[in-house]
Amino acid sequence: MSDRDSARQRGSAHGFSTRAIRVSSRPPRVDQRPTSVPVYQSVTFSAADADELGAVTTGALDGYAYSRIDNPTDTALAEAVAELEGAEAGYVFASGMAAIHASLVALVRSGDRIVCTRAVYGSTRSLLMNVLGPLGVRTDFVDATDLTAVEAALASEPARILYAETLSNPTMVLADHAALAAIAHGHGAAYLVDNTFASPYVCRPVELGADLAIESATKYLGGHSDVLAGAVAGRADLIREVRRVQIDTGATLAPWAAFLVLRGIATLAVRLERHAASSLALAGWLERQEGVLRVVHPLLPSHPQHELAARLLTGSSGMFALELSGGRPAARAFIDALTLPERTASLGSIHTMVVHPPSTTHRQLDDAGLRDAGIAPGLLRCSIGLEDVDDLQADFAAALEAARRTTAEPATA
Ligand SMILES: Cc1ncc(COP(=O)(O)O)c(C=O)c1O
């Protein structure tokens, strides 16, 4: 007897499989508003009729049809990020690099030019050189702290984009957003900012004139090293272009991942306060230790742009750079001797993470590229987590002792 025949015998119009599919995809009736954003784990959304489906799919009518284009949990995250960045609109992605890629590609065509800060994340530099370069988009790198040089680079030839990082990875160079946005706009370029190291709690580039602010939400927004995500917020007309690129390139954020980032955002402020307090305490202490060449933390008076930090940032994150006088061997010994930080290559997490950029995050760069990006062989990038700061200081003290025992390699800045 077929499924359908046995169903008829029991008085149902449909067979078991049909009923199983229908009952298992029936949303529950909920009269009360949930206090968390539900995970809309559905790729497809059903329209009332063919006309409505056509209108939603083409964007003539607001709504959902297919989750590569829009998903309600993703939309909730995009709107949350836009609001926290002080922006008109936002959009989210499967990773920070996907957000950077879509933002750049939305604004350039073959034959266009980008002017980018020299102090930029390794994968972004690689995207500009190795992905966009062969497609006919040229990038010129400048020292973004030298406003005259930025002005000259934009005046010399037309450029579509001026690109900078609020706090550069890993050298902690600050970008003066108001000044850079004014220069970019004066030359008809859009000003795009990677705000990952700061997060919108510490800096809001759009409020200072940036056209788009990009976040690797994998870092402080998510905050727990358990979700990969990206976001962009800014001018509504540009976000529409960015969304168009994303629809056809498909780096869609999974709704469960969007939920995790939303959950992270709820505690962003309290986490950042603790990240900042612990990182500043450790950075100040490290600066006074033997074997330490320099510590670069935006809230230390020794930061070369300390005055700008006070204007640009409403605090700091957990990030600082630490350069050891013993060069590469000392940096390796320091990392190997640490017992509390995770030996991994991310940042912006509850876990403290110490990485050696020349052998991890900036491995794409040869020695000349590293020099150009201001990365010395003994440089370590520290992302201070939420552990007890006294425990971290004791661990760092033992690691410094191990670094000092290594045979010193001449450090070249
Ligand atoms: C400053 C910065 N921007 C962007 C990214 C890329 O983010 P994701 O790993 O989420 O693609 C990173 C990753 O480390 C980063 O440090």
| Beta strands 292-296; 319-324: pairing state | antiparallel
Q: Hey, which of 169, 227, 319 would you mutate to test ligand 1's pocket, going by the most ligand atoms within 8 Å of its Cβ? A: 169
Which residue carries 């976040």 as its tokens?
215
Cβ distance 96 to 215 under 8 Å? yes
Least confident of 3-12, 114-123, 244-253, 387-396: 3-12
Distance (angstroms) between ligand 1 centre and the Cα of 195 equals 10
On average, the pLDDT of the chain sits at: 94
Give the active site residues: 68, 121, 194, 219
Report which ligand 1 atom has the smallest distance to the Cα of 219. Answer: 10
* Phi, psi values for residue 115, rounded to 5°: -110, 125
Number of the ligand 1 atom closest to the C-alpha atom of 100:
4
* pLDDT over 70 percentage in the chain: 96
Q: How confident is the model at residue 361 (pLDDT cuts 50, 70, 90)?
A: confident
Rounded average pLDDT over 367-374: 79
DSSP state of 29: P
* Cβ-contact 73, 255 below 8 angstroms: yes
Residues with CB under 6 A from ligand 1: 95-97, 121, 123, 165, 169, 194, 196-197, 216, 218, 228, 230
**Whether 127 contacts 104, CB under 8 Å:** yes
Top mean pLDDT of 70-84, 355-369, 370-384 is at 70-84
Burial class (CB in 10 A: 0-12, 13-18, 19+), 67: buried
CA-to-CA separations, 36 to 33, 39, 77, 262, 266, in angstroms, rounded: 9, 9, 12, 9, 10
* DSSP 3-state of 191: strand
pLDDT of 368 higher than 70? yes
- Closest ligand 1 atom to residue 347 Cα is 14
- DSSP string over 109-148: -TT-EEEEESS--HHHHHIIIIIIGGGT-EEEEE-TT-HH
**In this predicted model, what pLDDT tens digit does every residue of 313-339 receive, in sequence order?**
999 999 999 999 999 899 999 999 999
pLDDT exceeds cutoff 60 at 413: no
Distance 218 CA to ligand 1 centre (A): 7
**Candidate from 81, 100, 123 with most ligand 1 atoms within 8 A of CB, to mutate:** 123
The crossing angle, in degrees rounded to 10, of helices 255-266 and 72-85 is: 30
Q: What is the pLDDT of residue 59?
A: 86
**pLDDT score, position 45:** 96
Compute, in angstroms, the gap from residue 96 CA to the centroid of ligand 1.
Answer: 5
pLDDT in tens, 302-314: 999 999 999 999 9
Which residue would you say has higher pLDDT here, 368 or 269?
269
Residues whose CB is less than 8 angstroms from the CB of residue 172 and which lie 6 or more positions away in sequence, other chains included: 197, 296, 297, 298, 303, 319, 320, 321
pLDDT digits (tens, 9 = 90+) for 161-204: 999 999 999 999 999 999 999 999 999 999 999 999 999 999 99
What is the helix (H) or strand (E) element at residue 293, kind and residue range? strand 292-296
244 CA from centroid of ligand 1 (Å) = 22
The CA-CA-CA angle for residues 289, 291, 292, to 5°, reads 65
Q: What is the mean pLDDT of residues 241-256?
A: 97
